[in-house]
Amino acid sequence: MSSSPNYLRPIDFKHGHIDMTHGAGGRAAAQLINELFAKAFDNEYLRQGHDGALLPLPSEGRLVMATDGHVISPLFFPGGDIGCLSVHGTINDVAMSGAKPLYLAASFIIEEGFALADLKRIVESMAAAAREAGVPIVTGDTKVVEKGKGDGVFISTTGVGVAPPGLCIDGRQAKVGDVILVSGTLGEHGVAVMSQRESLTFETAITSDTAALHTLVQTMLLALPDTQTLHVLRDPTRGGLATTLNEIAQQSGVDMLINEADIPVLPQVEAACELLGLDPLYVANEGKLIAICAPEVADTLLAAMRAHPLGQGAQRIGTVIEDAHGFVQMATRFGGRRVVDWLSGEQLPRIC
């Protein structure tokens, strides 16, 4: 990012729109970066004004790097917008290896004609989310595509963090006998977005759970006498709980058995899912995590989760069992058992 050239009128953030010059790398692009992005995200690293931000190196551990493209539609939804979502989503991807997120990079692809007022709102929401999480946006890039070649704005964020030495939290670590925990109620994000898309309103408002989970993860790690007892962390976003558990089962070469009655879903989400023809097990979450741990620490971990504001609704939902199929099975409320398969089609496009 660069300093502003002289002799330009201030940008009209109330009535203005993005045009192709904002992506051309010249005067207008520099002005937009300075008057919007640099101002909102302001921090010592971004102020270096270089494409590559120079950053302090952690003293020990391993680096963690994660990237996530955000194409959610609509851009604004109950409980959030693409801006805060793009910060939370990538922080969570970094945190799911037990790492402390340190830095974020943001790449914007903006459609010509996009209202500057909307862009400003999104950028300010990102900035607020990054500040609240304590993870600065240290570098960025902005491109503009012609009207009809994009959809408002897409934001790809990349996070870098540091995992303490010795930690081994990984989708391949689930072991037979392990306990499966979830940090709270499922399905709010997907249902909030879908209801906005379908212009539905419900008696009880459903808002996205979008949130940065890194402090919850740190709380969980601190509660454990031996962090090696925490085997897997994963945020059930696209594809929901069902798909995420299937991924882990496959990677670890185990089966899982979950209990339908123990899976926390808000009644209004349950009702909305019925109306929308959705299964809450497959609906995306943006502020929840799944933890798979050794059975002897499950109670300790659950208590630690419940003591954190983002884990108050944490539940034990099942166990890892032996089998060679990599299946996820569910004991239903009616006493039967069924296989909970991967999401096979497209349940909710552009949900994140």
Taking CB under 8 A as the criterion, which residues in 251-280 touch its own copies?
251
Q: Is 49 in the site for its own copies (CB under 8 A)?
A: yes
Q: Phi and psi of 111, rounded to 5°?
A: -85, 135
Angle among Cα 138, 121, 142 to the nearest 5 degrees reads 45
Q: Is 342 in the site for its own copies (CB under 8 A)?
A: yes
Containing 105, the helix (H) or strand (E) segment is: strand 100-111
Neighbours of 10 (CB within 10 A): 8
Smallest separation (angstroms) from its own copies to the CB of 335? 28
User: Taking contact as CB under 8 A, which single stretch among the options 93-101, 218-226, 272-280, 296-304 is the one that binds its own copies?
Assistant: 93-101
**191 versus 302: smaller Cβ distance to its own copies:** 191
User: Taking contact as CB under 8 A, which single stretch among the options 35-43, 155-163, 200-208, 223-231 is the one that binds its own copies?
Assistant: 155-163
> Is residue 184 a contact partner of residue 311, using CB atoms and an 8 Å limit?
yes
> Between the CA of residue 174 and those of 171, 228, 297, what are the distances in Å?
7, 12, 14
User: Taking contact as CB under 8 A, which single stretch among the options 16-24, 122-130, 200-208, 331-339 is the one that binds its own copies?
Assistant: 16-24
Smallest separation (angstroms) from its own copies to the CB of 11? 15
Q: Is 24 in the site for its own copies (CB under 8 A)?
A: yes
Q: Is 65 in the site for its own copies (CB under 8 A)?
A: yes
> Is residue 283 a contact partner of residue 191, using CB atoms and an 8 Å limit?
yes
Q: Is 339 in the site for its own copies (CB under 8 A)?
A: no
| Torsion-angle region of 277 (φ positive above 0: left; ψ -120 to 50: alpha; else: beta) | left
Contact with its own copies (CB under 8 A) among 38, 99, 206, 217: 99
> Is residue 70 a contact partner of residue 154, using CB atoms and an 8 Å limit?
yes
Q: Among candidates 136, 320, 135, which has minimal Cα distance to 215?
A: 135
User: Taking contact as CB under 8 A, which single stretch among the options 204-212, 236-244, 309-317, 329-337 is the one that binds its own copies?
Assistant: 236-244
Q: Is 146 in the site for its own copies (CB under 8 A)?
A: yes
Block residue for tokens 């974020």 = 104
| Contact positions with its own copies (CB under 8 A) in 195-224 | none
